[in-house]
Each structure stands twice: as C-alpha cells, then as structure tokens.
Chain A
Amino acid sequence: GENVEQHPSTLSVQEGDSAVIKCTYSDSASNYFPWYKQELGKGPQLIIDIRSNVGEKKDQRIAVTLNKTAKHFSLHITETQPEDSAVYFCAASPTYGNNRLAFGKGNQVVVIP
C-alpha cells in the first residue's frame, strides 16, 4: 500500500517567517494529496489539497506544490502567525476514495511570537 513520509517532525519558526513541510509518497498511482491541520484537542481539518494534474495551488498564505516525478509534495505557509501553530498532516490516495487515503505521521509547527 501507499507509504507517506513527512519531514521534519517538528518545526519552529519566528512569527512572520515562512514554514515548509515536505512529504514523500511511494505509490506512483497516487493522484490526490490533501493537507490537514489539527489544533490541540480538535479533529483534523482540511486546509488545502492538490490533484496530480496540477503542480501548484495557492490559497491566501498557504500553498502546496507537487512533484510527481520525484514523488514529493510540500506545504508552504508564508507570513506565519501564532494561530498557525498546530500539527499538520499530509496524505496521499491513488483515487478520490478516502478509504485508501494514507496519512503521514504529522508535523508539529510552532510559531514563536
């Protein structure tokens, strides 16, 4: 099955700086790559996703890039704010079916005011 690796496990950034989280996946058939944000005591929430026919997608301060040849995708957060502090999960799926969605282990982002 799909194996998703996420790096680094913890990332500390100064408020206003950028944060980048990288994920690699193993199954070349994967074509759907969502990112979820989990705040303390809450369930994960989708923040952005990308499909394999697109190389980059932006939504305000958040962007995701995808390199299908290298089988990796990254989350970019610009102008970080304290409310960006959370655990971020990447995931990959070979279809739009969530029953085959494989999650990374998560990345703790800490924004230092």
Chain B
Amino acid sequence: NAGVTQTPKFRILKIGQSMTLQCTQDMNHNYMYWYRQDPGMGLKLIYYSVGAGITDKGEVPNGYNVSRSTTEDFPLRLELAAPSQTSVYFCASSYSIVTTQPHLHFGNGTRLTVT
C-alpha cells in the first residue's frame, strides 16, 4: 500500500491564483481530512469528509473548498490565493470512528508559498 499520497510536494503561487492540492489514499478509509501546519502552531483542521459525497468544515475553512467524489480522492481547492495561505498542507485518512483504529494516516505534505 502507498498509503496517503499528496501532490505536488512544493508550489509557489502568486496572489489571486488558484490551484488544487491532490490527495489520494489506497487503504479504503472512509474518513479523510485536510490540515494546515504553520510554524509553531500545530495542526489545524480545514475540511473533512466522512465518505464519498459528504464534506464538512473544520476549524479554518475560509478560502478553501473540497469535494469527495470517490472514497480514494479528496482534493483541496484554493480559489484566490492569499499570503495567509502560505503553509504546509497535510491530507490524512482514517477508519470510521466505530472501529478501534481511529488514528490518522498522514501524507507527506504540500509546501505552498503565496507571494
């Protein structure tokens, strides 16, 4: 299993540009998440999904959009990039909360710089 795969690894955007961060997992997890990690600030949840066709906001959703058309894929869309969105973005997945293995499996991140 490849686990959680994120692309691209690095990206530089100009203010106002848009982009999609890709995330795919091959573990058949029904839960998927997007986090951002800012220096010294821990991980903040942007959006999450409990299954295909269902998404919900996390703690910091403004400026982002997501979709979940399949179990495997959970792309994150930035429509109008702003310097405040400079961060490292992590996608994660997990089993359903009703199992005994709810822990998160993270990808290796996408480092995004908006200038």
Q: Closest residue to A97 on the B side, CB-wise?
A: B97
Given contacts A46-B104, A89-B43, contact A99 B90 (CB under 8 A): no
Q: Check A95–B97 contact: CB distance below 8 A.
A: yes
Q: Check B92–A43 contact: CB distance below 8 A.
A: yes
Q: Which A residues touch B44, using CB under 8 A?
A: 103
Number of residue pairs A-B, CB distance < 8 angstroms: 61
The answer to the question of A42 belonging to the interface, with a C-beta cut-off of 8 Å to chain B, is yes
Given contacts A99-B33, A99-B58, contact A9 B40 (CB under 8 A): yes
Interface size on B (CB < 8 Å)?
A: 25
Q: Check A106–B106 contact: CB distance below 8 A.
A: no
* 16 A–B contacts, CB within 8 A, in A order: A4-B42, A32-B102, A41-B108, A43-B4, A43-B106, A43-B108, A46-B104, A89-B43, A96-B98, A96-B102, A97-B102, A98-B48, A98-B92, A99-B56, A99-B58, A101-B45
The answer to the question of B11 belonging to the interface, with a C-beta cut-off of 8 Å to chain A, is no
The answer to the question of B12 belonging to the interface, with a C-beta cut-off of 8 Å to chain A, is no
Interface residues of B (CB under 8 A from A): 4, 31, 33, 40-45, 48, 56, 58-59, 90, 92, 94, 97-98, 102-104, 106-109
Q: Check B97–A104 contact: CB distance below 8 A.
A: no
Complex partner residue of B103 from A9, A49, A99, A106, CB under 8 angstroms: A49
